[in-house]
Amino acid sequence: MCTGAFCAHPVQLGVRTASVAVAVIAAIGLLSTGAASADTFVPLPNGEQVGDGVKLDRFGESALLFPSMSDNGAGRDAMVSGTVTAQVTATPTVPHTGPFIIPPANTPGSNNSSVHGSSQLNTGYIVGCQVSIGTSAISAGAGVSLSTTQAGANGSISLQLGPGQVTFVELSYKDILHPGTYSIVYKDVEISIQGCGGYAQARAYTNVDITGDFYSRTTLYGQPFGIG
């Protein structure tokens, strides 16, 4: 038989062990709550595309995903950054900007650049709600609702998207008047999506349109990434 003092130790150790276990579980719970609301940095791969007299490059692209301020379950927020460059060796034969040579077709993602008086570099993002932004979704015949918009004056993008809707968002453009290297740099451009109860996805795009005696377009797409 054991003495009273000796038998008391297992009981005390058991209490201490239980207390430590409760403390550890509470700490894990707090960490899990923080992780759910933490920002997520998504590095995206570089890319290049070669066309007629044009070489397109995208590098340093990334997305920072963070909880929507609306906190209603249908909001998605991200900030995107990146650099695109176009090396143009073909000489544009129409060395002036505008006016339109023919009425603009205003097709999604075109920025009407095929009908501008000058060649052009333009870049932006394709954003969709419950749509995988692949080559099929980019086509107007993919059975999705397409639209176009531009970033606001403060560099932010606010979209209202429902299931099956896709929007081409232009961030910036530069007219190409002479052969040379043209660049567009964007940093921490906010994309805010409202109304999308399911998953949302985005994908960078960059176009170079060369006008003149013969029209050509070179397009570079980025890797799709999820937003919420």
pTM here? 0.71
Token pair recorded at residue 101 = 């040579």
Rounded-to-integer distance, Cα 70 and Cα 228, Å: 13
Domain layout of the chain by residue ranges: 1-37, 39-227
What amino acid occupies position 165? Q
- Contacts of residue 89, defined as CB under 8 A and 6 or more positions apart, other chains included, come to 53, 54, 179
CATH class of 39-227: mainly beta
pLDDT in tens, the chain (228 residues): 544 443 444 434 344 444 444 343 333 333 333 334 578 999 999 999 999 889 999 999 999 998 766 555 567 789 999 999 999 997 655 544 544 444 444 454 444 444 456 889 999 999 988 887 765 555 544 455 566 676 655 567 888 888 888 888 899 999 998 899 999 999 999 988 888 877 889 999 999 998 877 788 999 999 999 987
